[in-house]
């Protein structure tokens, strides 16, 4: 299957999540992403569970090639420059100033390649009073106001996956793609900057819009009450989720599925406004009803009545759902030394063709010889492949 970014070369000098996530998104679209890593250790995420191939690393590094280069080694530094001269995109997620110390600052790389799209990802931005502060996922979620919408006020614990890290990678890839489109018109590369703080503030746009327009500071239960969303436990201990939204037909369907038409005659629950105002009381009613039947039975009833719902699957269950299997979300690649490797495919299809092919994440320096040989063939002055 042809790839929409076939022919685009990306040099990624990323670590942990944000930079590698951006590189992976471009790789999923067919770009040749070359991951430049420190000899012997590589991306620190490699070693999070011992060894150099942790699940953390695997998550964000499929469809890439890996080369080890030491910026302090003159031969390696020269090879890095050769990679940049032939590249379309460079990605780094160092703290501001670190790239310059590694001779990978924008000004120097742009002098090597004026067509280069240079992407710098940071925690708090390239300038400003917080620019030099360390930032990880939870820090960005908190600083943007987003974490306040997730944490239970009565039991304040951080929950969920690395949302800020992943989303910042998405925004970086989005900016890179825009710069590549412009470069096709102008022939000149762009500097693309995105910070985790900016990404999460933009992702949190709904909360800010409510504040700007109504002066409302949203909390963890603001949206669920308005959207009429519920997480309910069934008789077998399994959970399902409802998202009723605003159409009254869904509530009529729910009342039918529950065999409780009286609920919609209750003045508290007869209108959308009433259901929002009495959300806690409605949760208590639904909890009692749904505790009376197993989840499979509830799903059958809700499907028959066209009520928006889904089982609350865990990771082991979700991809076994008939719809997930129909969409072929789970795919497999084969690593030349590690064997079969499973992942979830890119969600984007082109011309009806799903992204069913995948290359497993590379071992550290897996493509040292291959990439060095390619550079040597282009430039006879390059050292022999090793």
Give the model's confidence band at 2: pLDDT under 50 very low, under 70 low, under 90 confident, else very high.
low
Predicted confidence (pLDDT) per residue in 23-74, tens digit: 999 999 999 999 999 999 999 999 987 799 999 999 999 999 999 999 999 9
Quote the pLDDT of residue 379: 75
In percent, the amount of the chain with pLDDT more than 90 equals 96
Residue 381 pLDDT > 90:
no
Quote the pLDDT of residue 378: 83
Predicted confidence (pLDDT) per residue in 204-214, tens digit: 999 999 999 99
Q: Count CA atoms closer than 13 A to 63's CA, side-chain side.
A: 29
In percent, the amount of the chain with pLDDT more than 70 equals 98
CATH 3.40.50.970 given to domain 7-203+325-380: no
Tokens (6 digits) for 325: 């299997």
DSSP class of 46: G
Tokens (6 digits) for 115: 């067509």
Residue 339: strand pairing partners: 335
Residue 386 pLDDT > 50:
no
Mean pLDDT of the chain: 96
Residue 158 pLDDT > 80:
yes
Residue 164 pLDDT > 70:
yes
Any idea where the domains of the chain sit in the sequence? 7-203+325-380, 238-310
Nearest to 306 by CA among 234, 272, 255, 236: 255
CA 202/CA 167 separation, integer angstroms: 10
Predicted confidence (pLDDT) per residue in 263-286, tens digit: 999 999 999 999 999 999 999 999
Residue 362 pLDDT > 70:
yes
Give the model's confidence band at 240: pLDDT under 50 very low, under 70 low, under 90 confident, else very high.
very high
Residue 341 pLDDT > 50:
yes
CATH 3.30.1540.10 given to domain 238-310: yes
- Report the predicted TM-score, pTM, of the whole model to 2 decimal places: 0.95
Tokens (6 digits) for 144: 């943007």
Residue 32: strand pairing partners: 9
Quote the pLDDT of residue 384: 46
Average of per-residue pLDDT across 147-155: 94
Residue 85 pLDDT > 50:
yes
Tokens (6 digits) for 162: 């690395």
Quote the pLDDT of residue 1: 55
Report residue 36: phi and psi, to 5°: -90, 120
User: Is 241 in a helix, a strand, or coil?
Assistant: strand
Residue 127 pLDDT > 90:
yes
CA 183/CA 180 separation, integer angstroms: 5
Average of per-residue pLDDT across 227-244: 98
């Amino acid at each position: 299957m042809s790839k929409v970014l076939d022919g685009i070369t990306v040099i990624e000098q990323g670590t942990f999540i944000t930079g590698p996530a951006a590189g992976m998104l471009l790789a999923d679209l067919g770009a040749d992403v070359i991951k430049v890593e420190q000899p012997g250790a590589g991306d620190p995420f490699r070693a999070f569970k011992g060894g150099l191939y942790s699940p953390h690393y695997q998550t964000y590094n499929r469809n890439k090639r890996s080369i080890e280069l030491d910026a302090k080694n003159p031969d390696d530094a020269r090879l890095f420059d050769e990679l940049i001269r032939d590249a379309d995109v460079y990605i780094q997620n160092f703290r501001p100033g670190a790239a310059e110390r590694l001779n990978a600052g924008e000004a120097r790389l742009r002098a090597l390649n004026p067509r280069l799209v240079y992407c710098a990802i940071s925690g708090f931005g390239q300038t400003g009073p917080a620019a030099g502060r360390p930032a990880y996922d939870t820090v960005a979620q908190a600083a943007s106001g987003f974490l306040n919408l997730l944490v239970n006020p009565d039991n304040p614990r951080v929950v969920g996956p690395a949302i800020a890290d992943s989303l910042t990678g998405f925004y970086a890839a989005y900016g890179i793609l825009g710069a590549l489109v412009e470069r096709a018109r102008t022939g000149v590369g762009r500097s693309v900057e995105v910070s985790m703080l900016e990404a999460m503030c933009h992702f949190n746009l709904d909360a800010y819009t409510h504040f700007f327009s109504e002066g409302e500071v949203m909390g963890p239960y603001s949206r669920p009450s308005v959207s009429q969303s519920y997480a309910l436990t069934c008789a077998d201990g399994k959970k399902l989720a409802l998202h009723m939204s605003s159409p009254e037909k869904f509530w009529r369907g729910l009342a039918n599925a529950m065999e409780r038409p009286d609920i919609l005659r209750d003045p508290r629950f007869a209108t959308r406004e009433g259901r929002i105002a009495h959300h806690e009381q409605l949760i208590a009613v639904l909890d009692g009803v749904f505790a009376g039947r197993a989840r499979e039975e509830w799903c059958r009833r809700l499907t028959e009545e066209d009520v928006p719902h889904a089982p609350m699957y865990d990771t082991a269950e979700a991809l076994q759902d008939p719809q997930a299997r129909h969409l072929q979300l789970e795919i497999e690649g084969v690593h030349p030394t590690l064997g079969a490797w499973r992942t979830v495919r890119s969600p984007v299809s082109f011309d009806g063709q799903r992204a069913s092919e995948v290359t497993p994440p590379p071992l550290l320096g897996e493509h040292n010889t291959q990439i060095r040989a390619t550079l040597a063939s282009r430039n006879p002055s390059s050292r022999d492949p090793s």
